[in-house]
Structure 1
Amino acid sequence: MESKEHILFIVSRFPYPLEKGDKLRAFYHLKELSRQFNVTLICTTDIPVSEEHKQIVSQFCTRIHIFQLTKWGLLLQLFKAMLGSKPLQVHYFYRKSIHRRVQEIIAQSKPAHIYCQLIRVSEYVKNEHLIPKTLDYMDALSKGMERRIQTEPWYKKWFYRLESKRLKAYERRIFDYFEHKTIISEQDRKLIQHPENQRIVIVPNGIDNSFFETLPIHKDYDLVFTGNFSYAPNIEAAVCLAEEILPRLHQNGIPCRLLLSGASPSKRVLELQSGFVTVTGWVDDIRVSYQRSRIFVAPLFIGTGLQNKLLEAMASGLPCITTSLSNNALGGVDGENILLAEDIDTFVEKITQGLVIEGKFSLIATQGKHYIERLYSWEKQTLKLLQLLQKPLL
């Protein structure tokens, strides 16, 4: 039997638990790539990684190297960032000592390919010119920062303006150091300001369809929104739901209940808890949150990339109402497999239809589930990445 080739897989956060989009994407890419390659995982982390989590990820890796980022090191890097020109997040995840260890690992293991998830770890391998490399931009991070300028308090705007400018320049500059580039969506590819950005291969996120099967659970919530609630776009959406959409529904005589379910709820999100709003925090099985609810609503007006929460909700058989911004990467068809709203009035109108008219969105929910099952399995989405990693250095 022919032995598998060896690849190096570098991430900025340990890919478990799956409470953030980058960790979920890395986890399933590792799972799929391990079928074809022997994978050495290198990751930085600013929090301890439990043995249980290591064991879960180790089933897809031949070796795992975890590098702890200390608080003192973080302070030093933040100081350097203020004096330098690279994005703050690139400085945040970089250490010279880790760089030396990465070079040693490469020299010892001689990988056939190096894969980096996110530009924030690209400094570790950008000058490795004898091994083919793939950079997963994932999202246009610069645009995400730019959009936050409009929503952050005045005293934070300078930071997001500076980071957006630096990210935009770095996204363009790092492009030429890597033979192959990937990104989640076409809309994000267009936002990478490099003249050859069409060379970036689109590798969308996927879904584990077998995991998100419909469960026989009583629906005790009318609306649900999920996500990491320390992330600004999710916080904005949660506040919009609880303080703008829900009161309007109540005024219209629809006393519906909202479930906000996801990791790390910020103080602002926790303050939304009321008789009609439940904030769960982290849940062990997110499927239960979807299945306890009638409609998934995502009023996301900022943010980039393909929303995993949309994939999960549709795969769970829920009718989904969201914005065209969130749907751009997904490619759903309004009124066929998804419902789109661009303002509060339209969200209220469509939610009202779904709650008042029995079975109004049943067909849309069914077609949405079939759409995800057909196009968005992780196995299908990872095929393009597999092809890139099998290409030799030219």
Structure 2
Amino acid sequence: MSDILFLAHRVPYPPDRGDKIRGFNVLKFLAARKRVHLVAFADDRRDMGSDSGLTDHTSIIWRGKSRAVAALQAMLTNRPVSLAAFDDDAVRAAVSTVLTTHDIDTIYVFSSQMAQYVPTDTTARVVMDFVDMDSAKFAGYGRTQAGPMGWLMRREGRLLGTYEAKVAARADASLFVSDAEAALFRDQTGAERVFAIENGIDTDTFDPDASFVPIDLPPRTIVFTGQMDYRPNVEAVTWFADEILPLVRKSYPDAGFAIVGRAPTDAVKALGKRPGILVTGEVTDVRGWLAAAAAIVAPLKLARGVQNKVLEAMAMARPIVASAPAAEGIDHADTIAVGETAEEIATQIIAILSDPDAARVRGMAARRQVMQRYGWDARLSPLTALLAQAIGPRAHRDAA
């Protein structure tokens, strides 16, 4: 039986942030069916030398290239910064070792930055898991930002979009996290063999009745969870603190806001100096914070694909208010409240705080929806058919 080579831009375990959650569950799904060899970057020293027990061979390479160096290399070579940042000879050597010492019939590429390591002459099946359309994200940044940084974002969106289209043309399957994201990619690139493989959620772990350490919060605390050096999350909590929370406090002056997640930027830390706003930094278990919240918010102005933070809150049976972009990729069956403007989001939060019983009923409905719709085995089951397909003729794999 031939093996799978899994390429990841970040070690996909422990599954404690959005991309690692998807990566880990895909890896687990594949490893239950075939022998898998992993080559991945690490950007957290705690991940160096870690082992999931799921793979036969693992190579973890430290990604220490600075953003400044990556940007300079990208400018000199007319490449997207995203590619230059992940260009590494040690990874290239590790990939070569696996391909020459093992019978690999499938290369699973997690995130477009890793597609540069797929050899042009490979006969293996190539499954490209883009997750989100990153070029659209950077193009969105470029439309809203002026000056040199806006120019850099527009450049990244343009070059990365061209690269994504080339990668899809030479892959046997291109995967995205939602039907909307897959449709956007098809529309903008004309690519074929594009499929949606949605994210799931571990509803046994994220269960209000599971065992976890409880957190004591004031009764009207509103909670946001996420990686707090990720630009859309930073923008979301800033918008909430500046414009939405003051509206809520007109009805409930004691309403608080807890920003829960690792690596808060200086801008996020500054929010924690305001009355009633708590910035936690990294926590060992987010479930206690979710369970203690009067409401969970996901006020992202820019969001791509499926938001794990929303699925986790739904699984924990919490009342949720999300922006339209944050809710777009999720089949929530109206179990979460959605708002477009600061006023609409504030109104939805006030309604939750005003009627805790109704909020509790809606939270339980959200959990039922997640259990019916978002189990990982069900979400990943289409991979079985993709991996079983015969490898047919494909475009020449020119270096992307």
Query: Which TM-score applies when normalising by structure 2?
Result: 0.90
Bigger mean CA deviation after superposition, 219-228 or 169-178: 219-228
Residue 361 of structure 1 corresponds to 359
Structure-2 residue corresponding to 1:329: 329
Quick check: 1:190 aligned with 2:183?
Answer: yes
Alpha-carbon separation, structure 2, partners of 1:326 and 1:348: 16
Take 1:97 and 1:347, find their aligned partners in 2: how far apart are those partners?
A: 47
Shift of 1:350: 1.1
2:164 paired with 1:171: yes
Match of 2:345 in 1: 347
Counterpart selection for 1:26 from 14, 23, 28 = 23
Amino acid of the structure 1 residue aligned with 2:321: I
Aligned pairs for 1:1-394 within 5 A: 5-50=2-47, 54-55=50-51, 57=52, 59-71=53-65, 77-152=70-145, 154-192=147-185, 193-197=188-192, 199-215=193-209, 217=214, 220=218, 221-273=220-272, 274-334=274-334, 337-394=335-392
Per-residue deviation, residues 139-177 of structure 1 (Å, max 9, x unmatched) = 010111122224446341111111011111111111111
Cα distance in 1 for residues equivalent to 2:221 and 2:46: 36
Distance 1:266 1:389, change over 3 A: same
Tell me, in whole angstroms, the C-alpha distance in 2 between the residues paired with 1:76 and 1:289.
38
Shift in Å at residue 32 of structure 1?
1.8
Aligned equivalents of 1:253, 1:319: Cα separation in 2? 17
Structure 1, residues 78-102: CA drift from partner, whole Å, max 9, x if none? 4331022332111211124532331
Cα distance change of structure 1 residues 50 and 123 upon mapping to structure 2, 3 Å threshold: closer
Aligned residues of 2:12 and 2:23 also touching (Cα < 8 A): yes
Counterpart residue type for residue 251 of structure 2:
N
Q: Which moved more, 1:185-194 or 1:165-174?
A: 185-194
- Deviation at residue 333 of structure 1 after TM alignment: 3.1
Q: Distance in 2 between matches of 1:364 and 1:18?
A: 27
Name the CA distance, whole Å, in 1 between partners of 2:183 and 2:138.
16
Contact 1:249/1:255 (CA < 8 Å) preserved in 2?
no
Amino acid at match of 1:286: V
Distance (whole Å) between structure 2 residues aligned to residue 77 and residue 299 of structure 1: 31
Segments of 5+ residues of structure 2 without an aligned counterpart are 393-400
> Which consecutive residues of structure 1, in runs of 5 or more, have no partner in the other structure?
none
Task: Please state how far the C-alpha of 1:386 moved relative to its aligned partner.
Answer: 2.8
AA aligned to 1:147 is G
Q: Offset at 1:283?
A: 0.6
Equivalent-residue separation in structure 1 for 2:278 and 2:24 (angstroms): 29
Paired with 2:47 and 2:323, the residues of 1 have a C-alpha distance of 37
Matched letter for residue 363 of structure 1: V
Contact 1:14 1:49 in 2 (8 A): no
Q: How many Å separate the matches in 2 of 1:49 and 1:177?
A: 35
Alignment coverage as a number of residue pairs: 384
In the TM superposition, residue 254 of structure 1 has moved relative to its aligned partner by 3.7
Deviates further, 87-96 or 200-209: 87-96
Q: Does the aligned pair in 2 maintain the 1:147–1:303 contact within 8 Å?
A: no
Is contact 2:110-2:128 (8 Å) kept?
yes
Question: Do the aligned residues in 2 keep the contact of 1:19 with 1:263 (CA within 8 Å)?
Answer: no
Q: What secondary structure sits across from 2:271 in the alignment?
A: coil
Aligned-residue offset at 1:70: 4.0
Distance of aligned partners of 1:245 and 1:124 in 2 relative to their CA distance in 1, 3 Å threshold: same
SS at match of 1:359: helix
The alpha-carbon deviation at position 219 of structure 1 amounts to 5.4
Supply the AA of the counterpart residue of 1:136.
D
Instruction: Please give the per-residue CA displacement for 1:117-149, whole angstroms capped at 9, x wherever unaligned.
Output: 011010111514311110001001011112222
**Secondary structure of 1:9's partner?**
strand
**Does the 8 Å CA contact 2:35/2:55 hold for their aligned counterparts?**
yes
Deviations along 1:289-348, one digit per CA (max 9) or x if unpaired, are: 1011021111111121110000000000001111222222102233xx111101011111
> Structure 1 residues 239 and 153 mapped into 2: Cα distance closer, same or farther (>3 Å)?
farther
Secondary structure of the residue that 1:113 maps to in structure 2?
strand
* Conserved? CA contact 2:249–2:255, under 8 Å: yes
Residues of 2 paired with 1:136 and 1:280: CA distance? 32
Determine helix, strand or coil for the equivalent of 2:332.
coil
